[in-house]
Amino acid sequence: MAVTREDVLKWIRAYAEVLAENMEYLTELDAQIGDADHGANMNRGFRTVLQKLPDNEDKDIGTIMKVVGMALLSKVGGAGGPLYSTIFIQAGKTIDGVLEFELEDWAKALEAATTGVINLGKASLGDKTMVDALIPAVEALKEASQQGLSLGEGLALSAKAAEDGMIATIPLVARKGRASYLGERSAGHQDPGATSTFMLLDTAAKVWANDC
């Protein structure tokens, strides 16, 4: 099974819907340890992405991903814009020029995206950021690929790992970003960036597993 260009487009559109549905939830999470704008920013960014897609639906997957990244960079405020832009641009560079990809390709793309996020945000596992969802997801994908698991199985394991990483941010003390200003008071709250990252990967697992 492979993920096609049409699958990628469905994923992006579905994630935009997830963000719209969860805008208030993400904003509430961000209000506890941040600027209370993550939900609104992400929703606004992906509204812009949806406007860009019709003119790029005939492009290869890498180009589409990079278009998404540039749209997010231009519209999403705060740290979220550059970080989510990096995810899509770095992933797009890794799977550039193709109309479909396999589980192994996605593992490499998400690893490149994660490396880009780490380099940009200077965050590590345990810092209470989106990296806490990304790194476990990448490791799960790589292991699934090495074990020869199906695309659906690998995506499901990746989403579950991201969810576990998201939940694991709750007791952590933030060491990066706006939340780090709170010190010990940031403990006990789920990181909004890790949450939207889980939603991104969970949406991919659900959409691609059904369509591939």
pLDDT of 7 strictly over 90: yes
161: helix, strand or coil: helix
Q: What average pLDDT does the segment 53-72 reach?
A: 97
Q: What average pLDDT does the segment 167-194 reach?
A: 84
Domain encompassing residue 20: 3-211
Burial status of residue 175 (CB atoms within 10 A of its CB: 0-12, 13-18, 19 or more): middle
Q: What is the CATH number of the domain that holds 87?
A: 1.25.40.340
pLDDT of 212 strictly over 70: no
Place of tokens 């192994």: 104
SS3 content of the chain, % helix, strand, coil (to 5): 75, 0, 25
Confidence category of residue 183, pLDDT binned at 50, 70, 90: confident
- Mean of the per-residue pLDDT values for the chain? 94
Confidence category of residue 185, pLDDT binned at 50, 70, 90: confident
* Residue 41 and residue 71 in contact, taking contact as beta carbons nearer than 8 Å: no
- Total domain count, the chain: 1
Predicted model pTM:
0.95
Confidence category of residue 178, pLDDT binned at 50, 70, 90: low
